[in-house]
Each structure stands twice: as C-alpha cells, then as structure tokens.
C-alpha cells in the first residue's frame, strides 16, 4: 500500500461543496420537523440510493450530535421494514431464473409462438424461437414494471388497457407484418404481466399503515427521477400538504481540478487509471472514487490495485457468470452435454478431484494420441478396444477412468423437470468433489443461492406450474447460463473496520458523496455514447404514460452526473486513442460537452508522467550448448535424424529430452489429417489389387475407380473420421482420385509392380537401430532380367516443394534414410506428389550414393555425441519458424557476440 505524504482528510474536508449541501439538507429537515411539531424519529427521509444512508447519518451527527435521528431510508428498505412480501406464482420476481420460466409459459399460453411464420409447423417455430423470445419478454417486463411499480395497485389494470390501445398495429408491408405481430404480442404480454404483478413496494401505498409509523415524508431527489418516490410524495401532499417536503437537488457551484489523460489502448488506459489512483493515495487524497464505465477495464484496474494491497469497496460488481466459481460449474455442465468435446471433459476433470492426477494425465495422453475430438467417439472407440484379447495395465486404467467419467455423465442425461435437474446438478458437484470449493468461494455461495442449489431450495420450483416442463440438459444449461448472466456479484471484502481507500461505483452514484478524488477511465466515444440506449417495445407515448425515461430526460441526467463528477476536488478523465483491433477512437462527445460546460480549462496531460521510467541495460542470453553424451540414442528414425541435421538443439530438446507438444483435439480435419487418410486409402487400395492379381480383373480406370472408392470407405471407418468434419476434403477427393489413377496406369505400364505398403522395417547400424515406416515399395523387372526396387514416399504438399527436396541430393534425408533400411544396391527412390488435380513422381536419381553418405554421417554424428559434442541451435528458415523448442533456445534474445 502506498505511504501517504499527508494525513487522510476527514469527510467534511474532502469536498466543501458537498459538506455545505449536507448542512443545508440537515438544517431544512430539522427546521421543517420542528415547524410541524413532528418527532424526528417519525420523520422519513427517502434517499435516491442506499449507499447514501451512512453518509446522511454521518453529516446529521455532525450537525446535531445530540438528539434523535430521522429515518434515512430508500424506498426498497422502507418497504422491507413495513412488512414481508410473498410472491404469487406469476408475479415478476426480478429473479431471471424464475421469470424466464414464467415468460416461457406466458408465450405458450398466448399462442404467439403457435401461429408461426408462413407455413412453419408449431413445433419447429416453438423450438427455434422460444429461447429467443422468452429472454426478450423478461427484459421488456422489467422495463415496463419500473413504471407500474410507481402506480397505485388499484390503477394498474386501467393503465394497462390504455397502453395496449396505444400500440402500433399496422402500416407495414407484408414482409414486416409478421415481425410487427411478434413485437406487438410481446409488448401486450409484457404490459399485462407487469400490470397484474404485485411488488414488494406496494405496501408503501397503504397510507394508513405507513402513517402509523411515520408522520412526515421528505424526499432527496437524485439525477434520475424516482417515479415511485415522487408518486408517494404526491399522495402524501394531497393527504397533508405540510407533512411532505421535497429537498433541493445538489447543484455544484464550481468545478475542481480536471486532468485529461489520453492513453494508447485498453492496457495502457488500465495501467494509467491504476497509476492515477495510487498517486492520489500516496498524496493523501482518500477515499478515491473509481467510476465503472467499462466492466472489463474496471476489473483490470481492480486487479492491479489489489496487487498493491489497496483496500477496495466494489459497489458496482460484475456479472456472476464471469466469476471463477461460475466457470467451474459451467464446465461441469458442458462436460455432461451429449455433444461434449474431449477437451471439455478434460477441462472439467482437471478442475475437480473426481480422478487422481496421474489417471487424468494418462487419460489425456491416450486421448490425444487417439486424436478423437468428441468424447462420445472416444467412449465408443475404447469400448470396442476392450474386445481385444490382450491389453496392458495402463490400458486398463485408462478404460476404468473413462467408464467412471461416463457413468457420472450419464446421471445428467435424459429429460427432467427443473427441480430434478437442480438435484442432479447438486449430486454431480458432490460426486466430482467440486461442491465444497464452490461453497467456500463468496461468488460460489451467491451462485448456489441464485440457482436454488442449497439444501431443499429446489422445492421452490416444485410448487410452480411453469417449472413442470421436462427439458434436456441443453435447455437446463441455457437456464443456468441466463440465471448467472442476470445476477451481479458484489464482493464484500473485510478490512478489520478500516475504511476503504478506493470505491468502485457508477457515475450516477457520485451524487452527494464526499470523495477526495475521482478517476473516470473509459471516456471514449464507444463506452460513453452520445445517444442513450433506450431501445424497447414501447412507443414514446407509452413511455410517457409510465413516466419512463425519455431521451431528453436521459440527456439531462447524464449532463448533471458529469457536472457533479467534475465538482470533485480532483477529477482524472482517461480515454484511449485506439482499440486493441487498431480502430481509432475519439473522446466521447458527452464528456467533451460536459468539460466545456464547466467554464474552466482542463489540463491535457500525457500518461507518460504517471509512471516512473527506469532504463535498464539489455541482458541478452547466450546460445544454448547442451551436451548429451550420457543420452546417446539407441534407436533413430528418419524424422528424428532430420531434426538433428536441421538444428542439433531441436533434436536435443524434442527427441532426447522428449519435450513434445500435446496434440490438439479439434473436429476440423487438417491437411495433415487428410494426408494420413490418403496414405491409408492408397495402402488399402494397393493391397486389394495385389490380393486380386491372379483373378480376372479388368485393369482399366473404371475398375480401379471402384476399388479405390471401396478403399476410401474402409480408411474413413478405420480412422473414425466424422462425416461432417470430413466433408470439405470429400468434395476434392474425386479430383485427387482421378489424377492419381491416371498416373498409376502409366506407372504400371512402365513395368512397375506393387510389393509392399506402410512397411515397418528396421536395420542395425553397429549399436544403433534405424527404424521407419515406408509408404510403398514397388519392384521393376529390367529387360536384362535384373530386378530393381522402387522406394516411394507420398507427399500432399506443393509440387515445387517436393521438387526442392531432391534439388540437392545430399540435403535430402527421408528417401536416403529409408534406403538405408532396405539394404538393396539395385535401388531407386522417388517422391510421389498426389495433388488435387494431378499426380507427379519426383525421383531421387542418386539414391545409392546419397544413402551411403547418409550412413557415414549417422555414424559420425553418433560418435561425436558420445564424445561430448554440444548441440548448438543452428536452425534457420521454416525449421526454426515452426519449432516447438524456440521458446527454450531463446533465439530471439541471443547476444550478438554468441
């Protein structure tokens, strides 16, 4: 925590304007109560938001330290004091988890979904649009209820009828009529739902009950007009004009010091905002208000300040769905989906204690080696694999782990009522040992409450008719996600009774609050827009009837809020010049207009001066020179030796140390996967041809086409390729097939005959075993009676790249290495490039000389490794660009001297 250079100021000294305002308010309350002979304890003062309650009581204590204190309340707190409220089954609860169920039932009962669009069946229309319309209905009902909550319960139904009669019903062309029908239907349902609901604040309209506990009502207005508070004030004024009083709104007389900082991007802006806060705290300006214009930006600043041990009170919070506990819970649901990916299941297991860590590692290693992106494909694969007569203990452990996971996933399948799904989710979290971790997390505790996961809480939905519909896990997952998205999590950090140094809050809640400084990041044109977002289903006339905010009212509120912020003793305004995408930004017109309205010059400052710049000497690293004399290989493959030739360090890291990257588990079929499939197809095809060589088979393009198509089906089944993911490659297969068969017929006409495919072979070279798998071996009977062996390796790369491989014969490793495995002197070797439209053979004409030279090179290299030669990082070009060991060799940070 920064050390202050001066004592932290006391509340009255933080902002003289606010202190003067509170003295005026307290004096007016005291004088009015005395004039009406009302005891202060029976005087209710309604504040615009609950965060003002302790501040009001503090200033009252300063003004009148002796005597009674008025009841400083908000409308919500006042309603709770007057009596408990029980929701009816179809009331708006302002709990999205419950209201979305009611909205879905109301849509079904209204017939709005059943009419459908031009010829669509009800089931299809309902399935495709229920999830879209129900959240929108909830959103509309919440907006409209803000107006109805301020209307006396006895007057709501009449107002609802008036609103429905004002709705737009025609005037659109035929292409828009159906959508207008939906808009009107949603508006009518939302109006009826909001008008027929009861609200917790309805008790405030029971004037005899209220006046039994209070004799005088006063209202402190906020920037945003509180329709309920003003309507209550109107009722009280009609009943007894002298017992109701509207207090003055705070109007700042002059602005404080305003500093404007232009940051380059979001990261720079967050660092600059945190630096502004720390500077104020270091100089004794506390508490500091941090205005939350942008959730992501605010959370980043919050994290930076927490790292400096700053005491923070967050009144704004963030979406419950963005917390770690929510991510843990959602990963469990995603892993239990019927279409769950292997990665989703692995992510769930890694964040639970369901399996031992060693079992998870073994499962992941086997799963990635199999390359099955979908968990169900993996379960089918390993279940079929159990039919093998022999398997290792490691295989048995992986099978056991898979079956345990699948058994737990099966508890989340089928269709159930919501209360049953909640109980199933409880059991899942307990079985996977995630429950306790979620429960002890403050955000997790809030999640358990929001989703009714606590003991016996699921019974809340047993009594609701709208919660009796049976749903699948996908619908339940949507319900959970919506519930978490609609809830805010406000952390409650305890600092042993110490006052917070920083308060995070919305701009409107700066009203009448004494802060020594305010920092407002996110003041660009995207995050503070000129036109307020007032989209909805109601017309301007209907909004006026409900006393809902209009654009003009919103502009006034925004202007007043910025004027109030600029009246803080020190106000730092920050905006970014560029998005992370590179798009340029300007300062918000709203902020610029508010700055001009202050009548004083703001200071345009650079973010550079917020930071202490330190120049440090670069410390480049030397090239790595490891020695592997004690790890001389016993086996060597073609790909491993090619690494050694391209970059010794790459060979040392990836082969000798075994530091390999995990394979990705993705549905998409890559070009490499297509190449693997093509190798399998050609192997099946040529083996079938060899088997049928003594039978009367027509050797023509049509017979070959039929045979290779059968081979393609066999290869697809063998590799378990999903049909939908393989579709893009299946579309080019006919061109590849025809080009290959055309080449093959000409190749066979030259006298070549197929002998072997996918041939795994090895040979001994002193103490070293060379091993590899050769794509194909042909033989050719020469006219002199001698027989030559043709070694073939398939390539699906560009022809130019294949040609480049043999341009310098002694630079090519693969064909020469495979030639060493065959130990044949009458040897020929070639790459066969299988392209999309054409197949070409590129022969290595000096294969015997290159092979012999390669063998000598291998022996020499092994001797040097055994003798303690180093493995320098010598890679260049593509071998370096895509090297998995680049982060280890630190090539980008080498010193020039090395």
- Residue in 53, 50, 60, 55 with CA at minimum distance from that of residue 24: 60
Residues 418 and 407 reside in one and the same domain: no
**pLDDT score recorded for residue 652:** 92
The 10s digit of each residue's pLDDT in 204-240 is 999 999 999 999 999 999 999 999 999 999 999 998 8
- Strands, sheet with 244-246, edge to edge from the N-terminal-most edge strand: 71-73, 43-46, 216-219, 244-246
DSSP-derived secondary structure for 417-465: -HHHHHHHHHHHHHHTT-HHHHHTSHHHHHHHHHTT-STTTTHHHHT-G
Q: Are 332 and 352 in contact (CB under 8 A)?
A: yes
Long-range contacts for 753-756 (Cβ within 8 Å, ≥24 apart)? 753/778, 753/779, 753/780, 753/781, 754/686, 754/689, 754/690, 754/778, 755/690, 755/779, 755/789
**Euclidean distance between the first and final Cα of the chain, in Å?**
43
Residues 209 and 73 reside in one and the same domain: yes
Residue 609 has pLDDT above 50, yes or no: yes
- The arithmetic mean of pLDDT across residues 239-251, rounded, is 90
> Average per-residue pLDDT in the chain?
87
- The arithmetic mean of pLDDT across residues 100-119, rounded, is 74
Of 354, 380, 411, which one is at a domain's C-terminal end?
Answer: 411
Residues 496 and 605 reside in one and the same domain: yes
Residues 181 and 230 reside in one and the same domain: no
pLDDT grade, residue 124 (50/70/90)? very low
- The arithmetic mean of pLDDT across residues 567-580, rounded, is 94
The 10s digit of each residue's pLDDT in 143-184 is 999 999 999 999 999 999 999 887 655 544 455 576 777 888
**Using CA atoms, how far apart are residues 565 and 506, in angstroms rounded to an integer?**
11
Residue 252 has pLDDT above 70, yes or no: yes
- The arithmetic mean of pLDDT across residues 462-486, rounded, is 90
With b for 16 or more beta-carbon neighbours within 10 A and e for fewer, the 619-650 pattern comes to eeeebbebebeeeebeebbbebbbbbbbbbbb
The tally of domains found in the chain comes to: 5
**pLDDT score recorded for residue 386:** 60
Residues 101 and 24 reside in one and the same domain: no
Residues 481 and 504 reside in one and the same domain: no
In this structure, is residue 652 part of a structural domain? Answer: no
pLDDT grade, residue 120 (50/70/90)? very low
Residues 217 and 78 reside in one and the same domain: yes
In this structure, is residue 885 part of a structural domain? Answer: no
Residues 387 and 472 reside in one and the same domain: no
**pLDDT score recorded for residue 342:** 93
Local structure of residue 282 (DSSP, 8 states): H
Residue 118 has pLDDT above 60, yes or no: no
Residues 184 and 36 reside in one and the same domain: no
Q: Are 743 and 668 in contact (CB under 8 A)?
A: no
Largest pairwise CA distance in the chain: 130
pLDDT grade, residue 696 (50/70/90)? very low
Q: Which range has the worst mean pLDDT, 113-117, 206-210, 382-386?
A: 113-117
In this structure, is residue 866 part of a structural domain? Answer: no
Name the more confident of 783 and 537.
Answer: 537
Percent of the chain past pLDDT 70, that is, above it, reads 91
Residues 590 and 444 reside in one and the same domain: no
Sign of the alpha-carbon dihedral angle for 100, 106, 112, 113: positive
pLDDT grade, residue 847 (50/70/90)? very high
**pLDDT score recorded for residue 246:** 94
Of 458, 487, 516, which one is at a domain's C-terminal end?
Answer: 487
What are phi and psi for residue 187, nearest 5 degrees? -65, -45
- Interhelix angle for 122-148 vs 96-110, to 10°? 120
Residue 82 has pLDDT above 70, yes or no: yes
Can you give the residue range of the structural domain that contains 421?
A: 413-487
The 10s digit of each residue's pLDDT in 425-469 is 999 999 999 999 999 999 999 999 999 998 888 888 888 888 888
Residues 378 and 236 reside in one and the same domain: no
The 10s digit of each residue's pLDDT in 290-344 is 999 988 999 999 999 999 999 999 998 889 999 999 999 999 999 999 889 999 9
**pLDDT score recorded for residue 531:** 67
**pLDDT score recorded for residue 699:** 62
Q: Are 525 and 584 in contact (CB under 8 A)?
A: no
- Residue in 100, 92, 91 with CA at minimum distance from that of residue 481: 100
Local structure of residue 206 (DSSP, 8 states): -
In this structure, is residue 185 part of a structural domain? Answer: yes
Percent of the chain past pLDDT 90, that is, above it, reads 60
pLDDT grade, residue 117 (50/70/90)? very low
Residue 690 has pLDDT above 90, yes or no: no
- Interhelix angle for 701-719 vs 671-691, to 10°? 120
Residue 388 has pLDDT above 70, yes or no: no
**pLDDT score recorded for residue 131:** 74
In this structure, is residue 898 part of a structural domain? Answer: no
In this structure, is residue 5 part of a structural domain? Answer: no
Residue 898 has pLDDT above 60, yes or no: no
Name the more confident of 541 and 770.
Answer: 770
In this structure, is residue 290 part of a structural domain? Answer: yes
Name the more confident of 176 and 352.
Answer: 352
In this structure, is residue 350 part of a structural domain? Answer: yes
Of 189, 222, 246, which one is at a domain's C-terminal end?
Answer: 246
Residue 760 has pLDDT above 80, yes or no: yes
pLDDT grade, residue 559 (50/70/90)? very high
Name the more confident of 664 and 264.
Answer: 264
pLDDT grade, residue 703 (50/70/90)? confident
**Using CA atoms, how far apart are residues 42 and 52, in angstroms rounded to an integer?**
19
Domain containing 77 — which CATH number? 3.40.50
Residues 233 and 105 reside in one and the same domain: no
């Amino acid at each position: 925590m920064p050390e202050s250079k001066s004592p932290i100021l006391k509340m009255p000294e933080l902002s003289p304007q606010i202190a003067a305002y509170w003295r005026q308010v307290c004096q007016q309350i005291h004088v009015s109560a005395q004039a009406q002979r009302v005891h202060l304890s029976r005087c209710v003062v309604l504040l615009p938001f609950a965060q003002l309650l302790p501040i009001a009581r503090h200033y009252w204590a300063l003004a009148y330290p002796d005597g009674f204190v008025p009841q400083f309340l908000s409308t919500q707190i006042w309603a709770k004091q007057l009596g408990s409220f029980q929701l009816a089954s179809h009331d708006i609860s302002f709990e999205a988890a419950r209201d979305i169920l009611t909205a879905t039932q109301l849509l079904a009962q209204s017939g709005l979904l059943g009419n459908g669009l031009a010829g669509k069946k009800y089931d299809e229309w309902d399935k495709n649009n229920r999830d879209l319309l129900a959240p929108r209905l909830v959103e509309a009902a919440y907006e409209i209820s803000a107006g109805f909550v301020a209307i006396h319960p006895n007057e709501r139904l009449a107002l609802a009828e008036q609103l429905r009669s004002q709705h737009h019903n025609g005037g659109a062309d035929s292409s828009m009529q159906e959508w207008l029908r939906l808009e009107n239907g949603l508006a009518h349902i939302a109006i009826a739902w909001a008008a027929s609901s009861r609200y917790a604040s309805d008790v405030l309209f029971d004037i005899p009950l209220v006046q039994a506990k209070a004799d005088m009502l006063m209202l402190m207005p906020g920037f945003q007009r509180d329709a309920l508070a003003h309507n209550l004030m109107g009722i009280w004024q009609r009943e007894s004009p002298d017992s109701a009083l509207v207090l003055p709104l705070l109007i700042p007389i002059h602005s404080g010091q305003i500093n404007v900082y232009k940051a380059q991007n979001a990261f720079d802006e967050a660092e600059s905002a945190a630096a502004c806060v720390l500077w104020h705290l270091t100089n004794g300006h506390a508490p500091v208000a941090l205005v939350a214009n942008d959730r992501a930006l605010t959370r980043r600043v919050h994290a930076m300040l927490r790292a400096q041990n700053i005491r923070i009170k967050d009144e704004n919070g963030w979406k419950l769905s963005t917390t770690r506990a929510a991510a843990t819970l959602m990963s469990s649901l995603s892993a239990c989906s019927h279409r769950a990916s292997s990665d989703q299941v692995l992510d769930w297991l890694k964040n639970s204690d369901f399996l031992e860590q060693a079992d998870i590692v073994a499962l992941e290693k086997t799963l990635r080696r199999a390359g099955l992106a979908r968990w169900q494909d993996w379960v089918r694969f390993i279940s079929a694999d159990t039919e093998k007569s022999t398997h290792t203990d490691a295989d048995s452990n992986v099978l056991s782990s898979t079956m345990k996971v699948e058994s737990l996933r099966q508890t989340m399948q089928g269709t159930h009522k919501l209360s049953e799904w909640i109980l199933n989710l409880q059991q899942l979290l307990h079985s996977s040992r995630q429950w306790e971790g979620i429960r002890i997390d403050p955000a997790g505790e809030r999640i358990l409450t929001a989703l009714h996961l606590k003991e016996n809480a699921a019974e809340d939905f047993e009594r609701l008719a709208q919660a009796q519909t049976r749903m699948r896990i996908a619908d339940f997952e949507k319900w959970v996600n919506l519930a978490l998205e609609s809830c805010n999590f406000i952390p409650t950090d305890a600092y042993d009774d110490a006052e917070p140094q920083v308060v995070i809050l919305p701009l409107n809640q700066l009203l009448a609050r004494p802060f020594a400084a305010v920092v407002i990041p996110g003041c660009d044109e995207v995050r503070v827009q000129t036109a307020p977002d007032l989209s909805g289903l109601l017309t301007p006339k209907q909004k006026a009837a409900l006393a809902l905010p209009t654009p003009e009212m919103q502009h006034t509120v925004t202007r007043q809020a910025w004027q109030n912020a600029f009246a803080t003793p020190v106000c730092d305004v920050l905006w970014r010049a560029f998005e992370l995408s590179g798009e340029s930004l300007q300062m918000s017109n709203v902020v610029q207009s508010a700055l001009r309205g202050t009548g004083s010059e703001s200071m345009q400052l650079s973010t550079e001066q917020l930071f202490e710049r330190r120049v440090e000497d670069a410390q480049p690293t030397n090239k790595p020179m490891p020695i592997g004399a004690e790890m001389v290989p016993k086996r060597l493959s073609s790909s491993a030796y090619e690494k050694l030739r391209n970059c010794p360090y790459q060979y040392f890291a990836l082969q000798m140390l075994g530091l390999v990257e995990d394979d990705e588990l993705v549905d998409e079929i890559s070009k490499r996967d297509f190449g693997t499939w093509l190798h399998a197809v050609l192997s099946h095809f040529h083996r079938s041809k060899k088997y049928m060589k003594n039978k009367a088979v027509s050797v023509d393009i049509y017979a070959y086409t039929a045979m290779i198509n059968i081979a393609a089906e066999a290869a697809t089944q063998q590799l378990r390729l999903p049909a939908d993911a393989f579709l893009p490659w299946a579309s080019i297969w006919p061109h590849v097939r025809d080009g290959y068969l055309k080449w093959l017929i000409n190749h066979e006409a030259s006298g070549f005959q197929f002998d072997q495919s996918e041939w795994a072979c090895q040979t001994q070279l002193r103490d070293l075993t060379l091993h590899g798998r050769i794509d194909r071996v042909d033989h050719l009977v020469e006219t002199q009676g001698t027989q030559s062996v043709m070694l073939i390796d398939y390539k699906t790369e560009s022809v130019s790249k294949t040609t480049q491989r043999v341009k310098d014969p002694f630079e090519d490793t693969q064909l020469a290495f495979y030639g060493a495995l065959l130990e044949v002197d009458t040897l020929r070797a070639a790459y066969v490039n299988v392209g999309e439209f054409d197949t070409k053979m590129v022969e290595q004409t000096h294969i015997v000389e290159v092979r012999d030279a390669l063998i000598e090179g291998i022996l020499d290299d092994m001797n040097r490794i055994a003798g303690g030669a180093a493995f320098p990082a010598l890679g260049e070009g593509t071998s370096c660009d895509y090297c998995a060991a680049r982060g280890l060799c630190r090539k980008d940070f080498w010193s020039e001297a090395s």
